[in-house]
Amino acid sequence: MKLNYALLISAALIALLIGLIFGDALITMVGRWESEEYSHGYLIPVISFWFVWENRLALAKMQFEPQWTGVVCVLIGLLIGFAGNLATLSIISQYAFLLVLFGMCLAYTGWKGIRLLWFPLVYLIFMIPLPNFLYNNLSSELQLISSQIGVAVIRSFGISVFLAGNVIDLGNFQLQVVEACSGLRYLFPLASFCFLCAYFFRAKLWMRILIVLSTLPITVLMNSFRIGVIGVLVDNWGIEQAEGFLHDFEGWVIFIGCLGILFIEMWLLVKIFYKGKKFSQVFVIGAQPLDVLGIPEEAEQVQTVQSQTLFYGLPKPFLTALVLLIIAAPISMFVGDREEISPERSRFTTFPLTISDWKGVEVGMGQKYIDELKFDDYIIANYTKPGEVSPVNFYVAYYASQRQGASAHSPKSCIPGDGWRIGEFTQRSLPGATMSDGSPIRVNRAVISKGDSKQLVYYWFQQRGRNITNEYLVKWYLFWDALTRQRTDGALVRLVVALPESRPTEEGDKILEAFIKDVHGQLPGFIPN
């Protein structure tokens, strides 16, 4: 079989051009693979390439029908990539890269070829890390669920234990289910492995979907079991059981256990629904047969001339898409030169502790929380007013840049982690306090409780002159302002006041509204508009 050197040269040229256009985003992506949650990312491109190689003979015996739709995909992918580069948001460019890759394949092979290439192309999605705000929200939810099930495991051993949010109180010892114990270190690699197994599992579609969907419950249950076992070990033999080599070794054992449950699940499906067949006959590692992909077996018997001219003659859609890449490459070099603007501001070390009648006392924050929140500047202070017993806890976290992982955490996700339950959650406008454009400040209002304690929480995101209460809208404006203003700075503002039994919620509202009315005028110097 002859090879088309024009195709080989064009493939090398495509790799070079894609490197120029999406290089920064791909380098950022590979950097994220250093974390344990995404360490499987190195294997994803290798596995995808192996699938393409496995299908090489089927591709050789197929008559392609190049599609101009592929050119459209490439064009859209490049535009999205430019937007990602302009906004300096690598996650957008990473997904745009996949769209361009898909478009190039479609422009050359057409939909017939995509039937063979869809899996390695789709599988590449697993190498891209989740957006940080989705990661943070998912991590918070999984921490709570794992803590609750883990405590149930501990109690099944007859051990008395108390759970407050993510803190497991064993009496002599306390265990905190931190972000690293949320189960995401298992979930992401296991999800990619389940997707791979579903491809090899030559069963009905609903069974294969079930295999993929089972990733989450398997991860949660096994991670919760691990937390429970650690709690039992700590209760019997001390806190050392939750640290060092033993802690890491337990993680590997649990991951292997997850894989074992996955294969048991597939074995049971074969046993129940494919009686008379061996597991090895249903779970087959290798490329899918042509008939499974909807490609007639006759494709294997195409004329010898067809196979000998494999890859000969570059189709017009493919050449057009290649021209688009050639045009886009130098443009992307100029687009990528934009530097993010960091406006001048005062640091919170100079924030006034006397505001009108309010007197403030700064409160420190533990280094582990500072490391996790990744802000650039912050203030936590308790402000009291003559005649008021309970202080207003005032917290602001400022981020000079929110494009590469560091961003404001939503209190709605963090509050349950400290053991507080959200009873009421609404939004409220405060006519007495206005933004620079004259619009009233709008806040998220939450009434939270833990045991006999009750608190009222106000918070909002103050981002580049905007007052935002919706965290998803925050992400949209983050992209838009990065694109149009070259800025991604912003802050989270949060206020808390205790609600003793003698204080109705309405009185707490009056206290916080009065404090915001006095303090909001101080913020622009520390949170630039």
pLDDT-derived band of residue 338, with 50, 70 and 90 as boundaries?
low
Q: Is the pLDDT of residue 181 over 90?
A: no
How far is Cα 478 from Cα 489, in angstroms, rounded to an integer? 8
Q: Which residues on neighbouring strands pair with residue 159, listed in sequence order? A: none
Fill in the DSSP letter of residue 485.
Answer: T
DSSP character at residue 3? -
Give kind and range of the element (H or E) at residue 422.
Answer: strand 421-434
CA separation for the pair 100, 122 (Å, rounded): 13
Q: How confident is the model at residue 11 (pLDDT cuts 50, 70, 90)?
A: confident
What type of residue is 97?
F
Write phi, then psi, for 431 (nearest 5 degrees): -60, -25
Which runs of consecutive H residues, i.e. helices, occur in 309-390? Answer: 316-335, 367-373
Say whether pLDDT at 245 is over 70: no
Rounded to whole angstroms, how far apart are CA atoms 435 and 465? Answer: 8
Q: Compute the distance between CA of residue 224 and CA of residue 433 in angstroms, rounded to an integer.
A: 45
Q: How far is CA 76 from CA 57, 79, 102, 325, 328, in A?
A: 31, 5, 11, 12, 12
Percent of the chain with pLDDT over 70: 91
DSSP letter, residue 337 = T
pLDDT in tens, 361-390: 999 888 877 887 889 999 999 999 887 778
Average pLDDT of 26-51? 92
pTM: 0.76
